[in-house]
């Protein structure tokens, strides 16, 4: 077996699939990437048994039987270190793979490709076509609210709620919630899947801001997205996501309108002197004026004021500064609307015009 391919043609798909390979594996073969040639197409596959990604590239010349596994990270490092535009060749001999790049030669250990595990996926797919930039925008608007290594495992991902006419993506870790909705050309039964955090972050990395189509497949126990010669398969989190519709407050009595960037900058500046553990800032709102303050255990204090439009009763309420900055970074409109109840109620944040995302932040005790 011999395979020769250009460095640049090899590096892109290899980098995509190797990202799912964990540094510590229970099975040694999971540290490898599977290379398979079929019909003049070279397929790269990597898995951690929870997610599986396959990327492909077309070969200009026919080659013989290629079905090998090689250490993923070592092969990526070899390709990155190789001279630009050089040819990289692979030779398989006696359970070793000899990789040649320019004048360099590397002998890598291989493992039997027949032993490489495949991610089992069930039936019952519902398919949906959306543009790269549309699904990427929804993920960027919501992914920061996911939990990370929470014992409530169903929060360690995003909810994809597909129903006739729309796709809603929701993330929450219990103290904040992010929701974004996309109108879609879909008619059928509702299906809700909790997509794991790792899959979400890989989707954001792979997707771009183009109009190129992405095929999303919603199975009963799995999720697949297919884009730009990359197929990503993932198990889903088996659990019950919170009823997010009940979390979003309505009929709030107090409403503030302000410049998004100005508010974000003020919160970020004031939070410099906030308590490092709790990151609390205090909002004091009156008609036309918002005062934001923070203090810490050293009795240091920061205060800054900005002009706003406000309809409602004077209000003093505390929030986690980092949560507010995350939300204001996710919103794309120049102005934002923030609705408040009282000092013990969650607030609702959204863009001023044409924004389909909604954000809920719980208050902190002052």
- Closest by CA position to 318, among listed 265, 281, 268: 281
Clarify whether residues 236 and 134 are in a common domain: yes
Mean pLDDT of 250-263: 96
Domain boundary among 196, 213, 246: 246
The mean pLDDT of 210-216, rounded to a whole number, is 95
109 and 8 assigned to the same domain: yes
Domain assignment present for residue 121? The answer is no
139 and 238 both lie in a single domain? yes
Give 308 or 61, the one with higher predicted confidence.
Answer: 308
- Closest by CA to 339, choosing from 365, 366, 359, is 359
Domain end point (choices 115, 141, 168): 115
* Per-residue pLDDT, 77: 96
Cα angle 116-122-124, degrees, rounded to a multiple of 5:
150
- Same domain flag for 138 and 95: no
Q: Could you tell me the two tokens for 133?
A: 């930039």
Provide the b/e sequence for 102-138 (b: ≥16 CB within 10 Å): eeeebebebbebeebeebebeeebbebebbbebbbbb
**Total tally of structural domains belonging to the chain:** 3
Helix 260-270, helix 321-330: angle, nearest 10 = 150
CATH code where residue 19 lies = 3.10.150.10
What are the E-state strand segments in 125-270?
A: 126-131, 157-163, 166-172, 176-183, 191-196, 213-218, 222-227, 230-235, 254-259
Together in a domain, 59 and 88: yes
> Which pLDDT does position 325 carry in this prediction?
98
Same domain, 229 and 258: no
What residues are paired with 53 via a beta bridge? 46, 232
Res 161 pLDDT > 70: yes
Structural domain including 63 reads: 2-115
If pLDDT is split at 50, 70 and 90, which confidence band does 123 have? Answer: low
Instruction: Tell me, yes or no, if the pTM score tops 0.85.
Output: yes
Share above pLDDT 70 across residues of the chain, in percent, rounded to a whole number: 99
pLDDT score of 223: 96
- Structure confidence at residue 104 (pLDDT): 95
Among 116-130, 160-174, 180-194, 306-320, which stretch is predicted with the lowest mean pLDDT? Answer: 116-130
* Whether residue 201 is found in the same domain as residue 265: no
Under DSSP, the state recorded for 345 is S
Q: What pLDDT was estimated at residue 120?
A: 82
Pair (74, 134) in one structural domain = no
Average of per-residue pLDDT across 284-301:
95
pLDDT at 311 over 70: yes
Q: Does residue 257 sit within a domain? A: yes
120 domain-assigned: no
Are 272 and 354 members of one domain? yes
- Residue 90 clears pLDDT 80, i.e. is over it: yes
For residue 276, pLDDT over 90 is answered with no
Across 256-260, 276-280, 298-302, least confident range? 276-280
The overall average pLDDT reported for the chain is: 94
Q: What is the mean pLDDT of residues 243-261?
A: 96
For residue 136 the two structure tokens come to 């990427």
Q: Is the pLDDT score of 187 beyond 90?
A: no
Local confidence band at 363 (pLDDT 50, 70, 90 cut-offs): very high
Query: Which residues fall within 8 angstroms of residue 31, CB to CB, at 6 or more apart?
Result: 21, 25, 71, 72, 73
Are 132 and 215 contacting, i.e. CB atoms less than 8 angstroms apart? no
The reply to whether 222 and 274 lie within a common domain is no
Of the chain, the percentage scoring pLDDT greater than 90 comes to 87
Specify if 277 maps to a domain: yes
pLDDT at 124: 66
Q: Is residue 57 part of a domain?
A: yes
Residue 266, domain member (yes or no): yes
Three-state SS for 256?
A: strand
**pLDDT band at residue 35 using 50, 70 and 90 as cut-offs:** very high
Residue 8, domain member (yes or no): yes
Mean pLDDT within 137-163: 97
Give the mean model confidence (pLDDT) for residues 172-190: 94
Q: Where is the domain boundary, 246, 277, 303? A: 246
pLDDT value at position 22?
Answer: 86
Residues 92 and 81 in one domain: yes
H helices, E strands: number in the chain: 7, 25
**16 plus 97 within the same structural domain:** yes
> Is residue 48 included in any domain, yes or no?
yes
- Coil, strand or helix: which one is 116? coil
Q: Which two tokens stand for residue 87?
A: 């040819």
Instruction: Say yes or no to pLDDT of 346 above 90.
Output: yes
């Amino acid at each position: 077996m011999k395979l020769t391919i250009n460095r640049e043609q090899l590096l892109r798909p290899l980098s995509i699939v190797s990202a799912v390979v964990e540094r510590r594996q229970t099975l040694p073969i999971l540290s490898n990437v599977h290379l398979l040639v079929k019909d003049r197409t070279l397929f790269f596959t990597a898995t951690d048994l929870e997610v599986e990604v396959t990327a492909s590239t077309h070969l200009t010349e026919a080659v013989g039987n290629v079905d090998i596994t090689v250490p993923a990270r070592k092969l990526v490092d070899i390709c990155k270190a190789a001279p630009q535009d050089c040819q990289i060749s692979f030779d398989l001999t006696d359970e070793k793979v000899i990789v040649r790049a320019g004048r360099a030669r590397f002998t890598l250990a291989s493992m039997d490709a027949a032993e490489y595990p495949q991610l089992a996926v069930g039936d019952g797919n519902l398919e949906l076509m959306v543009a790269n930039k549309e699904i990427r925008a929804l993920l960027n608007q919501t992914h920061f609210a996911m939990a990370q290594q929470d014992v409530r495992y169903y929060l360690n991902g995003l909810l994809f709620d597909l129903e006739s006419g729309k796709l809603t993506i929701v993330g929450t870790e219990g103290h904040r919630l992010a929701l974004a909705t996309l109108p879609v050309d879909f008619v059928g039964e509702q299906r809700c899947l909790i997509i794991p955090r790792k899959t979400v972050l890989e989707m954001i990395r792979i997707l771009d801001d183009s109009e190129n189509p992405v095929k999303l497949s919603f199975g009963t126990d799995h999720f697949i997205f297919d884009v730009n010669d990359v197929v990503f398969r993932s198990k889903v989190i088996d659990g019950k996501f919170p009823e997010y519709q009940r979390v979003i407050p309505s009929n709030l009595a107090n409403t503030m309108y302000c410049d998004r960037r100005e508010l974000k900058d003020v919160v970020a500046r004031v939070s410099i002197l906030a308590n490092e553990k709790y990151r609390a800032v205090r909002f004091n709102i009156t008609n036309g004026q918002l005062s934001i303050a923070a203090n810490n255990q050293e009795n240091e204090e920061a205060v800054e004021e900005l002009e706003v439009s406000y309809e409602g009763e004077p209000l003093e309420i505390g929030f986690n500064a980092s949560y507010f900055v995350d939300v204001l970074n996710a919103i794309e409109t120049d102005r934002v609307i923030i609705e408040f109840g009282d000092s013990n109620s969650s607030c609702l944040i959204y863009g001023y015009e044409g924004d389909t995302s909604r954000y809920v932040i719980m208050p902190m005790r002052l």
